[in-house]
Structure 1
């Protein structure tokens, strides 16, 4: 271009900078040098380099460039603010992110769903679910309907902080707004309930998930196995053995595999409750899957059968007959 007497325009530089920032193999410093050669960088130039710096872990430099942009009289857009807020929240710089969020509104630039979701996700991961809830309410007031990702972040954050009642309320709100929870979102709530020992509630949400038609696929198979296994183990731990067996049978019907430890736990709990037919059923399932029970599992069920008076009497009579015959 230069040899032909054409000076590169800002748009030309922007294309080159975008290419450099998009290629992880190219040093970001090359993009910065190109940016510095632009006579009059525009908002697109700044946005691209700021995003590139953030993605390469150079957030302080991105913030400096953001400040330079304002100083040079170039008004940041919602994209600029969202980019910086997202990475500040991701790096746990929550106060800076919230300050920038307020500044954004003060400049008359309205945050969009992505801006809100990025900040909410960061706050939830950083243990500040209360602040995330305030933002969620503000988001709804501004008629920016949260998406499934936003709700998932809030529910996950509330569960991690043990605020399960609020997490369940948010799930209800989500459904009232026509948003359908996916396996990941149900999994976060169910896991949170299991971790808190609320076994029956966890099992009920598992039923809801199944009734909603959320079945395992190639991508979510391990997640479904983990959720179901956690519910069975928690129910057993809480003595809800019949309910645990129901969940186990549902797993078998849907082709969801069971961990060896869960098999053993079921046999042990069912045997202690004298549900011997069910315990034997689980052992047969183990053998059909070539999951050989350990000695402890055999001991548990044999001991349970032996404790039955009729079984013991029959065994003793057989033994006496064998002794007489010999």
Structure 2
């Protein structure tokens, strides 16, 4: 069954900004009567939410799946026009974080997704956020802003809007976050222009060139499933980051992990050959290990057999199996 596409009208999320709308799909537009868990998928750079569609039949049963096109991508509001073009365009990046909160609120208040189960009421219910590639940056930055935090120094990313009104919703509904192959630049490691395959590429060609490098890792007979989700929104997306410097990006990630609010899972493909999109998972895994947090219900490490960075489209059965295993280990059904 194909998902139903709609538009979420979120209104004004940041005072002074225009109202925001996001194009999204829902695989269960008629709210299920039985208890269910909602999985919200956050796509990466250069490819919109169509990338997830092949995987829908293979995702765990009894889950409601939502995915939205981030701003600048097909059907959604245009990219934010920053008042100051600072390195990393953190002002525009902050809008992705607020959009994510706005969509979570829409899912709860308009779409009626179920809250997390209370103690002893089973494992179904609530929301699991699954970020892929650069889409992980918004989820990580959201975690970095949430209290309580042991870090008392000023946050490197200013909040474009107060988060207080969203906190009750996050506490009642958000159960876990899963990070699938976030690129290493999110964590303050070398960025796209510093990848050996992209050395010397002009900034305006980076989105296209990076996509070409990634596509070369996919067997030709499977590329069409990926190209169907290609989106020009990546041109504005790739120049916005979760910090103006590598130190700021690392600071944001250190605030996010370990999370004080939700359980965390990581996921990558054993067949991914491009190290920069695997090193992000390794950073998170090493962070937990260094802090003495072993694999448990609070933190789970997962792997997709074979596959590649676009496995949800090229080998959706493998992706669905691996994601389901991580969910079970996180205590979610």
- How high is the TM-score relative to the length of structure 1? 0.24
Q: Higher strand share goes to which structure?
A: 2
Q: Which has the higher contact order (CA 8 A, sep 6+)?
A: 2
Larger Rg: 1
